[in-house]
Amino acid sequence: MGTVLHDSVLGEGPDVVLLHGLFGQGGNLGSIARGLQEAYRVHSPDLPDHGHSLWSDSPSISGYVEAVADWMLERHIPRAHFVGHSLGGKIAMGLALAHPALVDCLVVIDIAPVAYSPSHDDVLAGLAAVTAAQCRSRAEADAVLKAHIPEAGVRQFLLMSLMRTGQNNLMDWRLNREGLTRCYPRLLEALEENTPFDGESLLIRGADSGYVKDDDMAVVERMFPHSNLLTLAGASHWVHADKPTELNEALLSFLS
C-alpha cells in the first residue's frame, strides 16, 4: 500500500484533519470543512481502501493509523487538530495514543475506543449484490441496494462511492469491498490500552445514537483523561448531517 492518501484542502490557518467513517470518503465531512475553513486549513483525506486512496491487503485500525501518520510526514504537517467521525474517530484516537506528538486537540464524533458487535452485514451484502448484478446505472445499483438497505439516506451515502469501470461501462465500487468484508472484524476491535493521551479531547455523541454508551465513558476517561463529553439532542449517529450548525459551533469553540 502506498503511503500518500488522496486528499483535498480548504482554507488557511492551523491544520485540522477530518477523518471519515467506514464506507465513506473525505468529502462526507464537507459541512465541517466548510464551517472551519475561515479559521483553519482543513484537510479531508480518503482513508486507505476508500475513495481515491490506494487499497491495502489487510485493512485494520492500526494500519490506517500508520497510513495517516505517513501521510502527515509526506504532506509536511508536523502536528494538527483531528476531527474523526465513527471509524475515523477511532483512527484519530488510535493516532493520538500511538503518535501523540502528531495530535494537538482531538475531537471524536459518536464512537468510543471499545469493541463493537457486527452491525454492517446488510451493507456488506448490498455492496456484494451490486457488484454481482453488473449494474449499468446508479439507479439500477440503488434498486439492488434497496433489497438489503431500506434507508434511502444510507443508500445515497454508499452510492457516492460508486463509479463506472472497465470496457463494459459497468458500475462498481471505488472502495475495497472484498478487503473490507474480509477484515471487517478487525475494524470493530477495541483500541489497545496504551499510555493515555495527554492532550485535550472532546467526544461528541448523538442523543439518539447507541454508539457511545454511558458505560463506555470509563474507558474514554482512562485513555483520554482530559476529555469532555457533549451530547447533541436530536442527533443520530450521523451528527454532522442531523445537527450541522450545532456541531460546527461546538468544534469552533473547542478548537479555539
> 67 is written with which cell numbers?
497510513
- Catalytic one of 178, 189, 200, 221: 178
The yes-or-no answer on residue 120 being catalytic is no
What are the distances in angstroms from CA 134 to CA 113, 121, 129, 173, 228? 38, 21, 9, 11, 47
Q: What φ, ψ does residue 237 adopt, rounded to 5°?
A: -60, -30
- Catalytic one of 20, 43, 81, 237: 237
> 143 is written with which cell numbers?
434498486
**Overall residue count recorded for the chain in this entry:** 256
The yes-or-no answer on residue 86 being catalytic is yes
The yes-or-no answer on residue 178 being catalytic is yes
Question: Which ranges constitute the DSSP H helices of 99-192?
Answer: 121-133, 138-146, 152-159, 177-182, 184-187
- Catalytic one of 44, 53, 56, 86: 86
DSSP 8-state symbol, 112: -
Which H helix or E strand runs over 79?
none
- Residues involved in catalysis: 86, 178, 237
